[in-house]
Amino acid sequence: MAEQQDWNALSDADFRAIFRSWVEENLPPELRFMRKQRPVFEEVAEWYHRLAEKGWLSPVWPQEYGGMGLDAGKHIVYVEEWARLGCPRIPDHGIGLTGPLLIRYGTDAQNDFFLPKILSGEHVWCQGYSEPNAGSDLASLKTAAVRDGDDFIVNGQKIWTTLAHCANWILLLARTSSDGPKRQNGITVLLVDMTDPGVTVRPIPNLRQETDFCEVFFDNVRVPAANVVGEVDQGWALAKAVLGHERIFLGAPSRPEYAIKRLERLAKDRGAFDDPGFVARYAKLRLDLYDLGSAFERFARVLRAGGDLGPDVSVLKIFCSELYQRITEEMLTVAGEEARFWDDLQTAEGEVDAMNLYLDSRAPAIFGGSNEIQRGVLAKGVLGLPS
Amino acid sequence: MAEQQDWNALSDADFRAIFRSWVEENLPPELRFMRKQRPVFEEVAEWYHRLAEKGWLSPVWPQEYGGMGLDAGKHIVYVEEWARLGCPRIPDHGIGLTGPLLIRYGTDAQNDFFLPKILSGEHVWCQGYSEPNAGSDLASLKTAAVRDGDDFIVNGQKIWTTLAHCANWILLLARTSSDGPKRQNGITVLLVDMTDPGVTVRPIPNLRQETDFCEVFFDNVRVPAANVVGEVDQGWALAKAVLGHERIFLGAPSRPEYAIKRLERLAKDRGAFDDPGFVARYAKLRLDLYDLGSAFERFARVLRAGGDLGPDVSVLKIFCSELYQRITEEMLTVAGEEARFWDDLQTAEGEVDAMNLYLDSRAPAIFGGSNEIQRGVLAKGVLGLPS
Amino acid sequence: MTGLILDDEDGGLALLHDSVAGFAARHPGPAAFRKRRAAGADLDRDTWAKMAEAGWLGLMLPEELGGAGLGLPEQAVLSEALGRALVTEPLAQLSVFAGMLLAGANAGTERARLAEGLIAGSVIAAPAWQGRKGAPAPVEARVSGDGITLSGRVEFVSAAQSATDFLVLARSGGEDILLSVPADAAGVTVDAHPTLDGTMLAAVSFDGTRVAADRQLAGGNSVGTALDRAIAVTRLMLAAEMAGIATRAIEETAAYTIERVQFGKRIASFQVVQHRLVDMWADAEFANAAVVHAVETCAEGQGLPADLAVLAAKARAGDAAVSITRRAIHLHGAMGFTDDCDIGLFMKRAVALNATLGQPEELRLQFVARERVAA
Amino acid sequence: MTGLILDDEDGGLALLHDSVAGFAARHPGPAAFRKRRAAGADLDRDTWAKMAEAGWLGLMLPEELGGAGLGLPEQAVLSEALGRALVTEPLAQLSVFAGMLLAGANAGTERARLAEGLIAGSVIAAPAWQGRKGAPAPVEARVSGDGITLSGRVEFVSAAQSATDFLVLARSGGEDILLSVPADAAGVTVDAHPTLDGTMLAAVSFDGTRVAADRQLAGGNSVGTALDRAIAVTRLMLAAEMAGIATRAIEETAAYTIERVQFGKRIASFQVVQHRLVDMWADAEFANAAVVHAVETCAEGQGLPADLAVLAAKARAGDAAVSITRRAIHLHGAMGFTDDCDIGLFMKRAVALNATLGQPEELRLQFVARERVAA
């Protein structure tokens, strides 16, 4: 049984120290600062199980469900240290999405069945939201779930489903009605077993020629009505509501921070710090990162004080994703004639995955709501600009 | 009587040489590279009259009307040399706007009366287009001209009327009808004597605390119907049509060219060329200017070959105005702690009007169709993007 | 959320902030700017007296000098609010900078006189210490008998025409000294030029100017320490003032574009305008965040982290204020290009403050150089 | 108007341009890119043979060498069209660069053999002359008897795996020489690594590699002259190729955004998307203009103006192609982030060409340095 302790009673510094020292002892060295942004379950299984054993796998779940029960402030410390120590990302849709949704809206039966299987790693979840014609405009989704006795019959297609090829359960948004005046109505959250007949997964290689997202096809898939979360037709509000303080992490500086360290390594090795032109460009990037930290802190302070985030937090995600891009673009400038190689660059202090980061940096400005969508949200939600 | 010669028969180089040597002999030295972008008539009267005497005041008017009759290619040379030699801008709405409009659409009586008075400087024209609520959206103009016997009675207000305070005639767009489905219909071009009763001019000081534009108020101003150009209600098409190849000059590199020379002078004096950070920023600006020249040439070539400009020429105006701003912004960076002074900065090679240029550079991105309007035109007219 | 968000348990900061808004309602900043500009003055003594009455001068001077003994958060909130209201009297130089110099000076009668007058608004003690490139450039001092003789020239002196005293950095026998010089002393010449923000900056020359020895306020290493501290704190307050300008400029521009109709639509409803406003707002938010971070880091003590935070805040707020106000002018269309429209005054003030005590490029290079030396 | 607009009185350029479009319809570039990448190859010999058949290799080689004797405009139009069609075989290196080296070499049997084979596609003569930072780095040559012995290592060699010969820059007794080395000669080692654009670049080492003396193609100052000329002309053709990529990328993206519907609207109807597309188009236009300007300036003769024009064109086209394709990926949304979508291949090719023979920043600094020395 996992350790039970009121982590929130500790000071941030104490909690940080405890977390850090345990990670340093328990995180297998070969998993630190993995090149791959999105390892599959098998690659990080050992780390997953150690966290689960310790009770540290799910930071925000209440302790009664096997989580750490961290408040938002402590959760920020957890995420910060995770990044700083180079912990690999684990397939976390079960921990971060399905779990919180069930804890908030699930039945006891759903919780009893699903939550332990997330912690054990038996169920690996993915998120079935986007469709080919419902990306930025998610509410236009068409995958249909039609009632048939005690079941729903699901037909349709999802896309950009991260790590679907190594998941066995999918949290599905499906259309159960299209009568209402608003397209947001008539959407239902379903828990779907991907090993059921009729589910097909097709991986989509990305710009890095790796697979971290997939298409998922549903051909008359039978899903028990017991697997509906919350009310039928009310899934949109559910899916939105579960995104709470976690929205801050979309703007956490960890990716640009990692990238700038690699930029510094490359620049040092290639003598770029002797070039004042580079130093001036680097200074701009360095200060942008520094100030992103200050801006992140501005929102973290709200959470620490027990407040809620407003729509303004999107500003972090925009700035962070664009900064990440600019840092990786500068890496290619420093790489000079070498900025053509697919493989990592060699330096005296180790490898620099310049191209890997450059290509990866194209993604965060698109995913999780493109930066254009975010700017629209800010225009309306913060500045109150008219339609 | 002015010299008559078929300038278009000369090579560009020959014409350039003839033009240049005459200007160098005849342009009063104190008028070269004037600090003021928009001198009033009196300040440049001598230069105006010398040009008129020589027959070189109106480059594109046909020779029968006292112009040079230059084709577009030669006109470009004329304008290029004008800028290169630092000729001051003259109040040129009569030459560039009223004259061409009358030559194309005016009656013989109008031409006989007005054209000579433009050449003599007796009539100084301004352009009465914009209104307080009709700027970017010019077609929504409301200044009304109502038929009353042989006259029109004009009531309304114009704004951003350049040099109206030293003009005595105004080329007015007024609404004569608002029946049609399109707001562009029902607009008429009127020639209005500003000394007539009911015309009031209020200068508007600009960011540089100089006056180059005004408000003009019309209070029951009586305008003879003989002063209508073209047909009543058909003025919109007229006003548009007269903007022919001259649109290229909105993107002529002369302002950024002048600004970069001043930047170089300041940078040299302040030792900035020893700072590689500055040199890198300067290099970007320098190459932008160089490439603007190549892009300008791309369109000039079309004109030289006798072709017409498409909507794509707007790209020059956007790039040019934004480059002008960036150059003047860099001047303030080089000026360092001095970038607070209102007056010109002193250098060993003479004055640098850093602040004057910085403030002036705010204007071209707004006037003559804001850069946002221009981008909209390009989106529709060149890329064919849908509404 | 917007503006400076600092811990304010007793509500004192909010009170201070509101007091500026009240002041600005009675004495609108833009009008005062234009009036002073038209007069060719470098300080409006009436306004200054009212600011003294409000208790805003020498806010951070210790209580033993008669000051309010308040800290960086209070001064930052005041400066931000003044920026937002476009109150452009040179508080950063005459209250913050001068105050920090006096706080770092030796106890004594002259210091007490200056501090008292500074707080009351009766003494205008103008710091005079910069060379042409902005770095410290002491004038030459010769001590003889019970007097000190000064020769040399300093640049970028605020309120030199209105000054009662100059706080002069001088060098005597290999040692820096700080002393006050009566503005009307023999051999003092003021060469003032108008600035973009409707005030004047002067070069001040001392040609054998003689002052009594008891006019010396500090000597030795403490001078450099006080000067460095004055520069850092003033930079921070300039950053706060620019953050205020930035925040106000985005508010004004949002309001204008919501009001202004073209093509039958409010121009704030055009997507391109919306996204530009969002970017401007984001820049202002980052400026506010950087200022808050610097205030808090400085409150934790002096040293490298505090120095870095101040450099970052001044650079960020300067870039934000200047570029936001520029974009604001553009979004005001032709109206923005007129002198009648206040938005231009905000831009001019932002450019002037940004050029004061180091522009962003220079501050960023200092940041990186210091951080990398320490690494 | 769009693309390269050059004087084309006899319509020869248009014909050449159309021939590439026809070729690309039969042999689509993206498919060939993926196929070669999957094979780990640095050249697709089938495609190369077809390009030879089309008469595209050694286009500028003089007629006495069996070439078409065409000029810069023809090569530029070809390169632009290849860029637009994403035909990514290394023509710039194996035809343009190698061709210019051969054109500048001494007459002789070996030159004739190489030129003939180059044109026919049977000889793959890979230039081998760069050091790690991209500058010329001759290997060491020792002449003895009727042979030459080479030792050293060069970087960034295109098609090294497929090469039949290397065109090697070497230094012998203080003098540069250019010679051809059989790819299968003893002591030649090829260390090839995959590149972003689905090909391979190699470091090639010579360890006591011995070739016959008649393999020397040039010596003395003419080597440097030929190399400089090869660099300049190749830079220009890379610029043309990148202008083609830029133009195509904006066309593809306009088409995609017109097609793609979200929120019930074509995304190309959103004003923010429209303005971004306009900016991308403008960047492509400027790239095209810079290339045309450079072609014409070079046609007027070698010298500083020609050199400056080439530096400007490569810098402009490089920045344009890279940044346009990046924005294009973004506007393709998640689709753009997939390997299935061709737009990513255009971006990868643009990055690779931009990194070849000098990136924009470096070229701009060269431009300014040369211009200011001359001023």
Q: What percent of chain D stands above pLDDT 90? A: 92
What pLDDT is stored for residue A182 in this prediction?
Answer: 80
Residue ending a domain, among A234, A267, A289, is A234
Lowest mean pLDDT among A178-182, B36-40, C61-65: A178-182
Q: Let me know whether B251 and B313 are in one domain.
A: yes
What's the number of CA atoms in the CB half-sphere (13 Å) around residue C43?
A: 28
**Could you tell me the CATH number of the domain that includes residue A144?**
2.40.110.10
Active-site residues of B: which are they?
246
Give the integer Cα–Cα distance in Å for D220 and D218.
7
Under a CB-based contact definition with an 8 Å cutoff, are residues A209 and D198 in contact?
no
All CATH 1.20.140.10 domain ranges in chain D, comma separated:
223-374
CA distances from B247 to B254, B311, B363, D288 (A): 14, 9, 17, 21
Q: Which of D5, D278, D308 sits opposite B298 (nearest CB)?
A: D5
- Residue A387 included in any domain: no
**Residue B329 domain flag:** yes
D207 forms bridges with which residues in the sheet? D151
CATH number at residue B284: 1.20.140.10
Q: Which of A37-51, A303-317, B232-246, D130-144 has the lowest mean pLDDT?
A: B232-246
Give ranges for CATH 2.40.110.10 in chain D.
125-220
**For testing contact with chain B, the best of D247, D253, D285 (most B CBs within 10 A):** D285
Euclidean distance between CA atoms C87 and C91, whole angstroms: 9
Chains A–C, number of C-beta pairs less than 8 Å apart: 98
A337 is an active site residue:
no
Average pLDDT, chain B: 93
Question: What number does CATH give the domain C223-374?
Answer: 1.20.140.10
Q: Can you give the pLDDT at residue D97?
A: 98
A282 and A168 in one domain? no
pLDDT tens profile B345-378 = 999 999 999 999 999 999 999 988 899 999 999 9
Which band of pLDDT confidence, cut at 50, 70 and 90, is reported for residue D88? Answer: very high
Q: What is the mean pLDDT of residues D258-285?
A: 96
Whether the predicted pLDDT of A369 surpasses 90: no
Confidence of residue A3 (pLDDT cuts 50, 70, 90): low
Instruction: Indicate where chain D has its CATH 1.10.540.10 domain(s).
Output: 12-120
Helix crossing, D342-354 with D221-259: angle to 10°?
Answer: 160
Chain C residues whose beta carbon lies within 8 Å of the beta carbon of residue B271:
none
Q: For residues D245 and B172, give the distance between their C-alpha atoms in angstroms, rounded to a whole number.
A: 47
pLDDT tens, residue by residue, B204-235: 999 999 988 999 999 999 999 999 999 999 99
Q: Which residue of C has its CA nearest to B270?
A: C133
* Closest residue to B279, CB basis, from D268, D289, D365: D365
Among the listed residues A363, A323, A322, the one whose alpha carbon sits nearest the alpha carbon of residue A208: A363
Element counts in chain D: helices (H) and strands (E): 13, 10
Question: Mutating which of D272, D275, D276 best tests the C interface, going by the most C Cβ atoms within 10 A?
Answer: D272
Do the chains contact at B385 and D308, CB–CB below 8 Å? no
Residue B203 CB neighbours (<10 A): 16
- Output DSSP code: residue B246: G
Give Cα A273 to chain centroid, integer Å. 34
Whole-number pLDDT of residue A1 = 43
The answer to whether the CB of C331 falls within 8 A of the CB of C273 is yes
Please give the CATH architecture assigned to the domain spanning C12-120: Orthogonal Bundle (1.10)
Pair of tokens at residue C56: 């805003």
Chain C nearest CA to A293, separation (Å): 9
Residue B111 is assigned to a structural domain of this protein: no
Q: How many CB atoms lie within 10 A of CB B29?
A: 8
User: Which among B159, B206, B355 has the least Cβ separation from residue C196?
Assistant: B355
Residue B3 has what pLDDT?
55
Chains that touch A (3 or more CB pairs under 8 A): B, C, D
Cα A101 from Cα A238, distance rounded (Å)? 8
Give the pLDDT of residue B155: 98
Tens digits of residue pLDDT in D5-21? 899 989 999 999 999 99
* CB contacts, 8 Å: B281 with chain A: 280
Q: Please report residues of B whose CB lies closer than 8 A to that of A280.
A: 277, 280-281
C81 within 8 A of C17, measured Cβ to Cβ = yes
Q: Which of residues A196, A217, A234 is at a domain's end?
A: A234
Q: What is the pLDDT of residue B100?
A: 93
Q: Is D368 on the interface with B (CB under 8 A)?
A: yes
A345, β-bridge pairs: A352
Give the C-alpha separation, B7 to B19, whole Å.
10
Interface test with B, best of C195, C324, C337, C353 (most B CBs within 10 A): C337
pLDDT tens figures, D205-244: 999 999 999 999 999 999 999 999 999 999 999 999 999 9
pLDDT band of A212, cuts 50, 70, 90: confident
Quick one: A248 and A373 in the same domain?
yes
**Chain D residues touching residue B287 (CB < 8 angstroms):** 312, 315-316, 364, 367-368
Question: What does the pLDDT average to over C38-55?
Answer: 96
* Strand-strand pairing, D125-128 and D165-172: parallel
Q: What is the mean pLDDT of residues B159-167?
A: 93
C254 closest CB neighbour out of A310, A312, A383: A383
Q: With CB atoms and an 8 Å threshold, state whether C196 touches B340.
A: yes
Q: Residue D346 pLDDT > 80, yes or no?
A: yes
Q: Which residues contact D1 (CB under 8 A, 6 or more apart)?
A: B298, B302, B310, B312
Residue B16 to residue B29: CA distance in whole angstroms? 20
Domain membership of residue A79 as a residue range: 7-90
What pLDDT, in 10s, does the model give residues A7-31?
Answer: 999 999 999 999 999 999 999 999 9
Going by C-beta distance under 8 Å and a sequence separation of 6 or more, which residues neighbour residue B145?
B152, B153, B154, B172, B174, B175, B176, B188, B190, B223
Q: Which residue of A has its CA nearest to B280?
A: A277
Whether residue C156 lies within 8 A of chain B, CB to CB, comes out as: yes
Residues B214, B341 share a domain? no
Q: Residues of chain D whose C-beta is under 8 A from some C-beta in C?
A: 270-272, 275
pLDDT of residue B247: 87
Name, in order, each residue with C-beta under 8 angstroms of A52's C-beta and a sequence gap of 6 or more.
A2, A119, A120, A121
Contact D275 C270 (CB under 8 A): no
Share of chain B above pLDDT 70, in %: 99
Which residues on chain A place their C-beta less than 8 Å from a C-beta of chain D? 130, 133, 135-137, 140, 159-160, 204-207, 209, 213, 277, 325, 332-333, 335-343, 355, 358, 362-363, 365-367, 370, 372, 375
Q: Is residue A167 part of a domain?
A: yes
* Same domain? A44 vs A165: no
Chain C CB contacts of B277 under 8 Å are: 361, 365
| φ and ψ at residue C291, rounded to 5 degrees | -70, -45
CB contact under 8 A, B275 and A276: yes
Catalytic residue among A46, A53, A246, A329: A246
Q: Is the pLDDT of residue B2 over 50?
A: no
Q: Does C78 have pLDDT greater than 90?
A: yes
pLDDT (tens digit, 9 = 90+) per residue, D47-68? 999 999 999 999 999 888 888 7
* pTM to 2 decimal places: 0.96
Residue A365 and residue A250 share a domain:
yes
Domain D125-220: assigned CATH number = 2.40.110.10
Domain assignment present for A157:
yes
Q: Is residue A106 part of a domain?
A: no
In a mutational test of the D interface, the residue from B278, B375, B380 whose CB has the highest number of chain D CBs within 10 Å is B375
Q: Which residues of B touch C134 (CB under 8 A)?
A: 336-337
CA distances from B28 to B40, D54, D329 (A): 16, 62, 56
Chains that touch B (3 or more CB pairs under 8 A): A, C, D
Q: How far is CA D137 from CA D128, D180, D184, D233, in A?
A: 9, 16, 22, 19
Regarding whether B184 and B56 lie in a shared domain, the answer is no
Q: Does D191 touch chain A (CB under 8 A)?
A: no
- Taking an 8 Å cut-off on Cβ atoms, the answer to whether C289 and A297 are in contact is yes
List chain C residues with CB under 8 Å of D275: 272
Q: Which residues of A touch D356 (CB under 8 A)?
A: 337, 340
Q: Does residue A326 form part of some domain?
A: yes
Distances (CA, A) of A297 to A308, B170, C5, C7, C173: 14, 59, 11, 13, 48
Segment A18-46 mean pLDDT: 91
Output the pLDDT for position D308: 98
Overall average pLDDT of the B193-209 stretch: 96
Residue C372 to residue A273, Cβ atoms within 8 A: yes
Collapsing DSSP states into helix, strand and coil, what is residue B283? helix
DSSP secondary structure letter of residue C205: E
pLDDT digit string, tens, across residues A339-368? 999 999 999 999 999 999 999 999 999 988
pLDDT band at B163 (very low <50, low <70, confident <90, very high): very high
Please identify among residues 241-270 of chain D the ones whose CB lies closer than 8 Å to any CB of chain B.
Answer: 254, 257-258, 266, 268-269
| Per-residue pLDDT tens digits for B141-155 | 999 999 999 999 999
* pLDDT score of A112 more than 60: yes
Nearest residue of A to residue B275, measured between CA atoms: A276
Q: Does B292 fall in a domain?
A: yes
Q: For chain A, how many structural domains are there in total?
A: 3
- Percent of chain C beyond pLDDT 70? 100
